[in-house]
Amino acid sequence: MPFLSFCNEQCITVKQNECMKNHTSFKIGGECDYFVVPKNTEQLKAVIQKANEQGIPYFILGKGSNLLVSDGGIEGVVISLCSLDGITVNGNEITASAGVSVALLCTTALEHGLSGLEFAYGIPGSVGGGLYMNAGAYGGEFSDTVIKAEYLTKDGQIKEIGVNDMALGYRTSVFKTNGSVILSVTFKLKEGEKTEIKAKMDDFLNRRKTKQPLEYPSAGSTFKRPTGYFAGALIEQNNLKGASVGGAMVSEKHAGFVINYNNATANDVKDLIAKIQKTIKENNGVELEPEVIFVGRK
């Protein structure tokens, strides 16, 4: 049975030729062949199994906040986890499905007087994406509070993994290499005063609004932090603030961000990133590694 017919028969939400710029914070990207939104884990398993049977590549999408999708779009199936959005609180532990926004995770912790996730308030991604790249800000990382996760293996088994086996490092995890799909994440937090928790959350959010170009589409910090340096400072020192290629520009507010300021293409962004890397390498001898993940047709 063709993939589209299979999804329709199983009542799985599916669209053809969906434009990916509608699903990424960069607002950039061509069309994918199929865009699928499973309602639950069983539908997710069925979609992946069908794609594997038919040799159709698939890509797992969270909130698209750290992606640059190519102008040629994505071949095969994009599977959005946005409907996997359950969240439960048990004592000082919160278990959130992969599609839950980091913002909702943080406000849920606040509502229950649980501290430890304040640093994450304002991170624009999903819980699954946050664990996938061990997201962090203001001195905190997911690895500080995560204790376990549930995931789907490539062959369709649901398993649990403890934090010590996740290989969590700076913007990386075991999930980047093992082909598994994160289903849910459990965090262990500490009891705290709601007023203090909210004050910290508000402080971190205000810092973001003041220092980051949130008024423009972007994928957050463009580069990983190079050892011994700060990417934004290096870029600013080399007078690259405001530098542009096509519709992509180095933010004049924060040099660590490449922004889509005027209908940028993915190639505009890639060329600007390459220009920045070349300049910093030549002038400072430092290799800047993108934090943004490039996906899609070449």
What is the CATH number for 241?
3.90.78.10
Which residues have CB under 8 Å from 20's CB, separation 6+?
A: 28, 29, 30, 31, 32, 64, 69, 73, 74, 78, 296
pLDDT given at position 155: 87
- Ranges of residues in the chain with a pLDDT under 50 are none
Instruction: Among 80, 113, 135, give the residue marking a domain's end.
Output: 80
226 in a structural domain: no
Other C-beta atoms lying within 10 Å of the C-beta of residue 40: 13
pLDDT of residue 103: 96
Alpha-carbon span 130 to 123, nearest angstrom: 9
pTM: 0.95
Catalytic residue (one of 150, 171, 218, 251): 171
34 within 8 A of 58, measured Cβ to Cβ: no
Query: Which tokens is 238 given?
Result: 């080399």
Q: What is the CATH number of the domain that holds 121?
A: 3.30.465.10
User: What would the pLDDT profile of 210-254 be if each residue is shown by its tens digit?
Assistant: 999 999 999 999 999 999 999 999 999 999 999 999 999 999 999
Q: Does 207 lie in the same domain as 277?
A: no
**SS3 at position 287:** coil
User: What Rg do the C-alpha atoms of the chain give, in angstroms?
Assistant: 20
Is there a single domain that holds both residue 39 and residue 125? no
pLDDT at 221: 95
Any residues with CB less than 8 A from the CB of 161 and at least 6 apart, and which?
Answer: 148, 149, 150, 151, 174
pLDDT score recorded for residue 298: 84
Query: Do 104 and 48 share a structural domain?
Result: no
| Residue type (1 letter), 167 | A
Name the active-site residue from 80, 101, 218, 221.
221
Per the structure, how many domains does the chain have?
3
Whether 19 and 95 share a structural domain = no
Q: How far apart are CA 34 and CA 230, in angstroms?
A: 39
Q: Domain of residue 238: give its range.
A: 231-295
Tell me how far the alpha carbon of residue 272 is from its chain's centroid.
Answer: 21
Cα within 13 Å of Cα(162), Cβ side: 1
Q: Is 215 a catalytic residue?
A: no
171 is annotated as an active-site residue: yes
Does residue 222 lie within any of the structural domains?
no
The pLDDT of residue 135:
95
Residues 10 and 242: beta-carbon distance below 8 Å: no
Contact 291, 66 (CB under 8 A): yes
